[in-house]
Amino acid sequence: MTTNSVSRIATLVSLSLLATVSVAPAVRSQSVQIPTATAEQAADSANLKSVGFLSLKGGQKLMGEATQAISGGNYSLAVKKFKESRQVFNQLSNFYQQLGGSFAGVDNRIADGLRKKALDAAQMRDEATYQLALAHRAQNQPELSVPLLVQIIRSQNPTRELGKKSYAQLVELGFAETAYPRKPK
C-alpha cells in the first residue's frame, strides 16, 4: 500500500467518524413531547368505543346507514356502507384476536374477554357480508354475491343459522343444487 492510499483511507474514516459524531447528538437530543389531554379530550378519546368507526357501534352505525339507503332504493350507497361496515368488523375481529393471543397464558381472563369480542365482531362481519350479498342480488349481480355467501358459510359453518341462510341463497342462485338441511323422506 502506498502512503497516498493510506492517507486517503484515513481521511475517509475520519470523515465517516466525524459525520457519525456530529449527527448522533442531534438524534439523541430529539424527544417526543406528548401533549397533555384536557378532561374534555380524555372523555372524547374514551368514547372511541361508542362513536368511533373502529368500534362495534361504529360498524353498526354504518349498517344502519346501509339499511336506510336500501329503504330509499339507493343500492349503490347501501353496498358502499355494507362494505365499510364489513371492513370495520373484520378489522375489529382481527385486532381483538391478535391482542387476545398476546394475553394467552399471561392473563387468561383478558384473553377470554378479547376472544369473545373477536367472535362478536366476526358475527357482525358475517351479518354485514350477508346483507352485502343480498344487496348485490337486488342489483342483479349474483356473481358478486356467490363469493360472499361462500365466505359466510366457511366462517359460520353450514349448521349455524346464518350459514344455513347463506347456503339457501346459493341454492336459489343455482350455484348449489342440494338443499340443506335435507328434508326427511
Separation between Cα atoms, residue 89 and residue 125, nearest integer Å: 5
**Residue 39 within any structural domain of the chain:** no
Domain that residue 140 falls in: 53-173
- Residue 21 contacts by C-beta under 8 Å, 6 or more apart in sequence? none
**Number of domains composing the chain:** 1
What's the pLDDT at 104? 86
What is the distance between the alpha carbons of residues 117 and 111, in angstroms, rounded to a whole number?
A: 10
- What confidence score (pLDDT) does residue 20 get? 37
Quote the pTM value.
0.69
CATH number at residue 166: 1.25.40
Please report the pLDDT score of residue 177 as a whole number.
86
User: Looking at residue 178, what is its pLDDT?
Assistant: 84
Tell me if 183 is assigned to some domain. no
By C-alpha distance, which of 113, 116, 118 is closest to 98? Answer: 118
DSSP H helical ranges for the chain: 3-29, 39-46, 48-51, 56-71, 75-103, 108-138, 142-156, 161-173
- In a domain? residue 185: no
106 assigned to some structural domain: yes
Contact predicate 144/136, CB 8 Å: yes
118 within a domain of the structure (yes/no): yes
- Cell reading at 114: 378479547
Residues in the chain with pLDDT values less than 50? 5-7, 9-51
| Cα dist from 164 to 77, 134, 149, 169, 184, whole Å | 27, 14, 10, 9, 17
Q: Within a domain: residue 26?
A: no
122: CB partners within 8 A, 6+ apart: 89, 90, 93, 155
Q: What is the pLDDT of residue 2?
A: 54
pLDDT at 52: 64
Looking at residue 53, what is its pLDDT?
A: 67
